[in-house]
Amino acid sequence: MKLNKSLLSCAVAIAMGSSFASIADTTTKSGSVSDLSTQVSVQSTSNLMILAQTQVGNTALLLQNGDANTMLVTTIGNNNITEVSQFQSDNVVQVTTIGDNNEQTYSQDGLYNGAQTDVTGNNNQLFVMQEGQGLFFNNEVVNSITGDDNVIDVEQGSGGHWFYNMDMKGSGNEISAVQTGEWHEAVITSSTGDQNIAMIDQNGFYNTFRVSALQGNDNELDIEQDGDQNAVTLTEIYGDNNEFSIEQEGITNIVNFTAIVGNNNEVDIDQEGESNNVDSALFEGENNEVMAIQNGDFNSATAELIGNDNELTAIQNGSANEAYMGVLGSNNEFSINQFGDVNSAHLVNFNGSGNDVDLTQLGEENITVVESSYPDVSLTSNENDIEITQDGLQNETMVTLAGILDSNFNQVDIVQNGDFNLIDMMVEGSGHSIDISQEGENNWVVGTDQSPFLVGGENVTFNVTQLGNDNIVEGSVIGFNSTVSVTQIGDGNTATITQM
């Protein structure tokens, strides 16, 4: 069922007030896809209680109060404890327990609630409490647990939540979910492994959280969403000792990760503004760390990894900033800091090992692109140290390190301060040291005739310092053991460099 909230805006405004109606008429929400949603509305036509216990030491405490309640409890095993309380109308509880020493506690208060649990295993604990009305949707908890020593704690407030948790296998898994507000969703399907912990706290309106197929050992997820219409999606996580902590406070913030593979990965994401996006379609390797903090609005950060010992950090405090990282190799360390608005920093297929890149943009509309051995990923780029700092308005930097030859042992340090500065460069060979500092307005370090500024050869030291306005440095440094130094102070200066 598709429920268009704009059709219900008048009815909601009367029942709930204008604050909810302002949100209700701007989005659509699909109904629950589980079988429990139809059982709440169809099966619970009158009071019904069926209890079946097999073997010894089982305890059941059941209470129904209201209209159209349904309760089915089946226990096969020893020393199981089941407690169910239902009040008011149209509540449904279905509990099937196979195993020993399981403990389940259910309490439902309100309208259109539903809880269904299938437990196969031993020493599992399940605590479910639902309150309030459904707000056009059922409060709903569905658990299908296979395994031992699982602990699940679900508490849902008022307003049409549902929580799916399907087929947990392994030992020592723990899931705790608190949903308060309206129309939240939390779905974890098929958690396989040992000692996994997922803690979910959603507050506000229509926040969603989804994990499909979490496998491995010692995984921990901690998600907290306080605003409205925030979404977290993690799909197919493999590996060991992974930690994920995601906190979103604004509205319409999105975190989307697909296929995280490897060991000792740690992802920490904090988004506070509006319509921020963190996305990664690829995450492989060992000992990777990803941290993205976005405080403004409409920021976008993308991290894609293959390799070992990578560390990526993107901090964006302004609005409409964009940071992209693509990594292939090992021992890489990347940091992008953007504090203004409409900044863009790209790190594209920086393959190789031992690379260290730090990009900082403080003003607005600065652009930095670092491309290493791109688009040919068969080439390698090793032990590069690149620092780029841009301050001002509309500064641009583009560094391409290996187009034809391998690029090794390079050090590039670029500082731009002022307006409309531009650097275009293509670096090949090994052992380069390049230092460029520009201050003022309209400074240029460019290639000639629409060709890139080319620095080639080995052991080349290239240094440019420009102060003032309208300074231009053009042309290629090629050869072995070359040293070029250009210093321009003043206005309208031009230098052309060609060395073979």
Please write the tens of the pLDDT for every residue from 93-105: 888 889 899 888 8
Question: 344 and 371 in contact (C-beta within 8 Å)?
Answer: no
Question: 221 and 242 in contact (C-beta within 8 Å)?
Answer: no
Average pLDDT over residues 226-251: 88
Measure the CA–CA gap between 3 and 415, rounded to whole angstroms: 54
Mean pLDDT score across all residues of the chain: 80
Average pLDDT over residues 259-280: 89
* Cβ partners under 8 Å of residue 248, min gap 6: 207, 224, 225, 226, 227, 230, 232, 255, 270, 271, 272, 276
pLDDT at 250: 87
pTM of the model: 0.79
Measure the CA–CA gap between 46 and 48, rounded to whole angstroms: 6
Q: How many CA atoms lie within 13 A of 318 on its CB side?
A: 18
Distance of alpha carbon 63 from the chain centroid: 42
pLDDT at 31: 58
Name the residue type at position 174: E
Average pLDDT over residues 376-388: 78
Confidence at 34, pLDDT banded by 50, 70, 90: low
pLDDT at 12: 22
Beta bridge partners of 336: 314, 359
Exposure b/e, 329-367, CB count within 10 A at least 16 = b: bbbbbbbbbbbbbbbbbbbbbbbbbbbbbbbbbbbbbbb
pLDDT at 24: 29
The encoded tokens of residue 202 equal 């959603």
DSSP 182-216: ES-EEEEEEEEEES-EEEEEEEEES-EEEEEEEEE
Residue 238 dihedral angles phi and psi, to the nearest 5°: -115, 165
Average pLDDT over residues 293-300: 92
Closest by alpha carbon to 225, among 242, 206, 197? 206
pLDDT at 337: 93
* Whole-Å CA distances, 253 to 22, 271, 403: 19, 7, 38
Name the residue type at position 165: N
Q: Would you give the DSSP letter of residue 39? A: H
- Window from 158-172, 180-194, 251-265, 379-393 with minimum mean pLDDT: 158-172
- Determine what percent of the chain is predicted with pLDDT higher than 70: 85
Q: Dihedral through CA 249, CA 253, CA 259, CA 260, nearest 10?
A: -40
Question: 466 and 494 in contact (C-beta within 8 Å)?
Answer: no
Whether the per-residue pLDDT at 449 is higher than 70: the answer is no
- Window from 170-174, 481-485, 491-495 with minimum mean pLDDT: 170-174
Whether the per-residue pLDDT at 35 is higher than 70: the answer is no
Name the residue type at position 296: G
Confidence at 314, pLDDT banded by 50, 70, 90: very high
* Whole-Å CA distances, 15 to 19, 20, 55, 137, 331: 11, 10, 50, 15, 58
Measure the CA–CA gap between 151 and 177, rounded to whole angstroms: 11
Measure the CA–CA gap between 155 and 147, rounded to whole angstroms: 22
The encoded tokens of residue 323 equal 């940071």
User: Does the CA dihedral 174-189-283-361 come out positive or negative?
Assistant: negative
pLDDT at 499: 79
Please write the tens of the pLDDT for every residue from 319-373: 999 999 888 888 888 899 999 999 999 988 777 778 889 999 998 888 999 887 6
The encoded tokens of residue 143 equal 């658990």
The encoded tokens of residue 43 equal 């099966």
Q: Would you give the DSSP letter of residue 458? A: B
> Within a 10 A sphere around the Cβ of 89, how many other Cβ atoms?
15
What three-state secondary structure class fits 427? strand
Q: Would you give the DSSP letter of residue 359? A: E
- Window from 83-97, 120-134, 161-175, 256-270 with minimum mean pLDDT: 161-175
Please write the tens of the pLDDT for every residue from 318-332: 999 999 988 888 888
Measure the CA–CA gap between 287 and 474, rounded to whole angstroms: 42
* Cβ partners under 8 Å of residue 14, min gap 6: none
The encoded tokens of residue 351 equal 């393959």
What three-state secondary structure class fits 6? helix
* Cβ partners under 8 Å of residue 55, min gap 6: 76, 77, 78
* Whole-Å CA distances, 309 to 265, 289, 408, 458: 9, 8, 19, 28
| Location of structure tokens 């496998």 | 215
Average pLDDT over residues 385-392: 92
- Determine what percent of the chain is predicted with pLDDT higher than 90: 19
Whether the per-residue pLDDT at 407 is higher than 80: the answer is no
